[in-house]
Chains A and B, each alone.
Chain A
Amino acid sequence: MDTVKRVFRIIIFVILALFFSYVLPQHDVVRVTSTEIIRQDFSSVNRIFYAQADSGNVENPTRDIRLINTVKRKTFLLGFIPREAEKVMVYRNEDTGWIWPPYFKFDSSDLQAQAASIASKGDGNNWAIMTHYGWRNRFFTIFPNAVGLKPIDGPDVKIIPWFNIFFFAFLIIGWLFLRALWRQFRQRSIDPVIEDASETWELLDDKADEAKGRFMGWFKRK
């Protein structure tokens, strides 16, 4: 029983961790090298990893996608430990608008122009902090979605993930509230009922014992 419980908990934890690693914003230190637009023919497998057509437009099965090509600094531990090593990274640049995840991003065109402007500064001056969510996966052709771009002078910057700090603090508060709510409900609404039921049960049990005594009595009489 304990093993079943443990496995169940691990599965829930893994699902939540994957969910948060996809949806929450992360910051990369990048050199913006170029921007481009490709036509993307979504399949049913990778469609959920794309957002939507630009806000105000109609949604078609096939459309053009803005991409931002970069070289990013590698990190350990989801960006907490910076490294010198570099690798290429491609970001898509799509409106999330009013849909999930709630980044309320309507300015994809402006962001693309900003990326082009940073790229045009040339090698060595094109450093930026890229805020994004999502994953890069080559087998399904999915890209993380860029949500913000901030030019910086060099790659040595300290990034504090304020949003994620507040988000997890709020999540813990919400969890504690739900627990308090459940305890209050159990203490005031469920426990009295169970107490009542167990009293009734004891009463029944006593009566049953009595009846059993009488029943056994028949055999003893013989």
Chain B
Amino acid sequence: MGFVRFVFFGYLGLTVIYWLINIYSRSVRLERLENEWAEGHPDDEGSDARQSFLDDGMAAYHASFRPKLIGLVYIIPTILVIVALVVRNSN
């Protein structure tokens, strides 16, 4: 029972962290794309061309390997717990 509770709340907490990092990473990427566009087109703040540039950039980001690295948020703590379990209880 204790094990079930630990796993449930542990992964619940990790899911919250996963989403925070996910949102932050997307926001930073979008800001960079906006700045990139503003450098080339200083006066353009709301055209369709700008929007499609941003959409393409975000699509490329989602297809890349980087967002998948955020999955390490689940993998690293799991490995650490297993290592701690083995080290602590081996004689």
Interface residues of A (CB under 8 A from B): 52, 55, 97-99, 102-107, 110, 114, 147-148, 177, 180-181, 184-185, 188
Residues in A neighbouring B21, C-beta threshold 8 A:
177
Interface of B: prevailing SS: helix
Q: Which of A104, A107, A110 counts the most chain B CB atoms within 10 A? A: A104
Known: A104-B81, A180-B24. A98 touches B2 (CB 8 A): yes
17 contacts between A and B (CB under 8 A): A98-B5, A98-B6, A99-B6, A102-B81, A102-B84, A104-B81, A104-B84, A104-B89, A105-B89, A106-B88, A106-B89, A107-B91, A148-B88, A180-B24, A181-B24, A184-B24, A184-B27
Return the contact of B27 from the options A55, A102, A188 (Cβ within 8 A). A188
A105 touches B88 (CB 8 A): yes
Residue-wise interface mask of B (1-27) relative to A, using a CB-CB cutoff of 8 A (1 in contact, 0 not): 011011000000000000011001001
Tell which of A102, A107, A180 touches B89, judged by Cβ atoms closer than 8 Å: A107
Query: Considering the chains assembled together, what is the distance between the CA atoms of A55 and B91 in angstroms?
Result: 17
Contact call A107/B2, Cβ cutoff below 8 A? no
Contacts of A147 in B (CB 8 A): 88
A180 to B6: give the CA distance in the assembly, Å. 29
Bound together, the chains give a CA A105 to CA B84 distance in angstroms of 9
**B85 is an interface residue with CB less than 8 A from chain A:** yes
The smallest C-beta distance from A151 to any residue of chain B, in angstroms, reads 13
Shortest B2–chain A CB gap in Å is 4
Report the Cα distance A147→B28, complex, angstroms. 43
Q: Shortest beta-carbon distance, B18 to chain A, in Å?
A: 13
Extra A-B contacts (6), CB below 8 Å, given A97-B2, A102-B84, A104-B85 = A55-B2, A98-B6, A103-B84, A177-B21, A177-B24, A180-B24
Tell me whether A103 and B3 are in contact in the complex, defined as CB-CB below 8 angstroms, given that A180-B24, A181-B20, A184-B24 are known contacts: no
How near does chain A come to B36, taking the closest CB pair, in angstroms?
16
CA distance A106 to B86 in the complex (A): 10
A97 to B28: give the CA distance in the assembly, Å: 40
A42 to chain B, nearest CB (A): 18
Minimum distance in angstroms from B70 CB to a CB of chain A? 12
Could you say which residues of chain B place their CB within 8 Å of the CB of A184?
24, 27-28, 31
Judging by beta carbons under 8 Å apart, are B5 and A107 in contact?
no
A110 touches B91 (CB 8 A): yes
**Which one of B2, B6, B20, B88 contacts A103 once the chains associate, using CB atoms below 8 Å?**
B88
Bound CA–CA A185/B2 (angstroms): 37
